[in-house]
Every structure is written in C-alpha cells, then in structure tokens.
Amino acid sequence: MSLRIHSLMGIQVLDSRGRPTVCARMTLSDGSVHKATVPSGASTGRHEAQELRDAGSPFSEKYFGGSSVYLAVANINNIIAPKLIGCQPDLLTVDTTLAKLDESTRHEILGANATLAISLVCAIAQAHAQQVTLARLFQPTGALTIPMPMVNILSGGAHAKGALDIQDVLVIAHGAQTIAEALSWISAIRERASQAGAARGFITNLVADEGGLGIPFSSTDEACAFVTDCITDVGLSLTSEVGLALDVAATQFFDQGNYISRSTGKVFSGDQWRDQIHSLLNNHPILSIEDPFAEDDWNQWAQFSQGLHRPVQVLGDDLFTTQATRLAKGVHEKSANSILIKPNQNGLVSKTHEVLLQAKAAGFTTVVSARSGESEDSWLSDLAVGWNAGQIKVGSTHGSERTAKWNRLLEIEATEESVFSKPF
C-alpha cells in the first residue's frame, strides 16, 4: 500500500527551557500519527537558518515576550499543509517543495522552525511507510555505526549565565568499547564533579540549559584541571580512556577584533587569544576544541589550524552553521578539520545530510549536535547513526530531553547489528 499524507498541522509547544517551539503532526492514510519537535539554540551564530518568532507581529503572545511561534505554525497550517496533503511522505520530494515555497537563503519567509518540523516529520513518516527505523531509512543494510558521545560536565557562557568564560568543558570516553560503557564512565565523572562541586560549597542540583554543572571557576585552566581530577578520581586514565573537549563559543565574547574575558575583563588581541588557546592545549588532555575563534575571524581560524603541534579536532559550529557555502570556504582555507552538524541551523533534513556528506568528502570529522532548547524526541540519535556521523553531542547525562537521545543509542546498540565509532 502506498501511504499518503492525510492531515498535517503545526502546534506551538514548549522546549526544555520553557520557550515556545514548533511541533509538526502528520497523519498518514493508514491512520498512523507521527510528530517531530524542532530544537532552538541559546548560543546562535548569525549565519544560521532563521527561525521565525512573533515579536512585532500580530501573532505575538505577550506572555512569551515575543518568542511565541504562532506565525511559523500558521505558515505550516495555511501554506505548507495544503501543498502536501494527498502526497506521499517522501523526504526529498517534500524538501524540494519546501525549498520552492521559501526561496530565501535562510528560510526567512516560512521560518526554519516551520520547514525543519515538516522535513523531520516527513522523514519519520517515510520510515514508518517503509517499515524501518529512521536510522535504517538512511542506511538500509549493514552494521550501524553508533557515534562516540561528547558530553557536558561543566557549562558556562550562554548556557549558564557566564559561570565560565567558555561555554562548556566536556569529556570524550575515547577508550570505551560500546556506547553503554562510554555512558557509564561519563555518568560516573558527572556524579564525581557534582560531589566535588558541592564540597566546594556550590549548589550542584541546579544545572545549566544542557544539563552541565554551572560551577564558577576563575579560569578555563582551573575548570579543565577540575574535570581531569574528576576523571582520575573515578579510576579512569587520561591517556587511554577519557579526554577533554572544549566548546569555547568565542563569538560570544568577541568585540571589534578583540576577545574579552567576561570573568576578568582582560582584553586579548586575536594573536594573544590564539596563544591562550595553544596554552590550554599544551596543559590539558584536550582532544577537541569547538569555536575557539569568532564566527567571522577566518584569519585566526586558519593560522591556528595550520599551526597545531599535535593532532586536535578543530570543530566549527558558528563558523559553519551547517551551511554548504561556509563549509566550502573553511575547507579551502584549511580553517578547521571538523564540523558540528545541527539540523535547525540548516532548516531541511536532506540539505543537512548533504552538508555532512560534503564535510566527509573533504576529510572532516562530523559531530551531530542537539541544541540548548530541546524536546524528548530522539530523532537526532537516529540521524547520527543513519548518517554514520561518528560523533554526537547532546548535552549532559541529566534531563529527559538529553537522556532520550542517549537511551535511543543504547536501544539501537542492544537491538541492531552495530559497531561503536572510534574517531580518536
């Protein structure tokens, strides 16, 4: 039976931060119902696809301070749905239709939160129609690759009201043999960090947007040393089992060519800041560093990446914003060697996948990532697996919107033929 879209609607729902976001609900001709909720970021690059919110429009909901998404929902119900009802839930066909309905460069007309919601729910519905999981929709045969997790321990920046200058200190259990083992190690490290933070007199049962601990530190060096102590305290090796990752999110404290420490007020030139980053790499077991420079400070990115003294994953988030043209520039200029893949930075599932494939073809590693404002949906895990991304970053081990993704990976590992990615 060839299933078709019977009904389609957008709904305003709440994300994990209590802010409005878009959910798409699709009913197929067999009566099955499928839903997808889109995430939203707090630390957003200015080159990302444009989510549509209601501030300044007749749709604006005063109780949400202009952040409601009724306009995006109306675009689904009044513009998109009439074009798709009666059609087959085919991702490429639907994404082509969405691109024709909104030909703007960043989905400014319909809103990337509207287009992504439809694109996602279509992919989920297509998987149902083919009687496969979402991961198997993209990789029909062979062993599935479970991605290596990159997990928040400490959070600062936009995720924790500046508890750290940088956004996150994370861990990578690169010596683990399964996702189950990796998460068991990381959970122990996270619990030890909570205990150590409490021993310092800090409240650790209140966490940042992505579940990390918002413990204040006077410097990034001190924060890194704190996490490495937690790793060794639980009996894990810093050389063969667990390393650090940093999300610097440098765009947030870049101003007129300088990098300004929010904790000390000290001003660094681009070259001085590059020296600071090199110092961190020399002093700590850092495997990956994300957004060490601002999103348009291309010269510093290239100088840093080409001047490394040891292998490090240089990960572009705000630099690339999951956009093909910016990735092409970064590949040409050798600005980085890895890309963060966020579907809502792009606005369409198929186009997001194309950017990931473009990165892989250039020899980049790829890290599929959640956002600070998430839902309990687990589609991100299926995409990371089906796309053979190799790595995934969804926040910490606390919060149901985070554990939903980890639990889906554990389920795939337990029920499917799979191998665990070993990118490091």
Active site residues: 210, 342
Cα separation, 175 vs 136, in Å, equals: 27
Which residues lie below 8 Å from residue 148, measured CB to CB, with a gap of 6+?
172, 173, 174, 182, 390, 391, 392, 420, 421, 422, 423, 424
What does the block give as tokens for 241?
């089992």
Residue ranges of alpha helices (H) inside 139-267 are: 179-199, 220-233
Are 118 and 362 a contacting pair, CB within 8 Å? no
319, 326 in Cβ contact below 8 A? yes
> How far from the centroid of its chain's Cα atoms is residue 182's Cα?
19
Say if residue 260 is exposed, middle or buried (CB neighbours under 10 Å; 0-12, 13-18, 19+): middle
User: Is 407 exposed, middle or buried, given 0-12, 13-18 or 19+ CB atoms closer than 10 A?
Assistant: middle
Structure tokens at 358: 């473009």
Query: What region, left, alpha or beta, does residue 35 occupy, with left being phi > 0 and alpha being psi -120 to 50 degrees?
Result: beta
Query: What's the Cα-to-Cα distance from 333 to each of 233, 284, 293, 327, rounded to whole Å?
Result: 41, 27, 15, 10
Instruction: Please spell the DSSP secondary structure of 254-320, one letter per residue.
Output: EETTEEE-TTT--EEEHHHHHHHHHHHHHHS-EEEEE--S-TT-HHHHHHHHHT-SS--EEEESTTT
How distant, in Å, are the alpha carbons of 120, 251, 315, 389 from that of 372? 19, 17, 18, 20
The DSSP secondary-structure symbol of 76 reads I
Q: Which of 266, 28, 262 is nearest to 128 (CA)?
A: 28
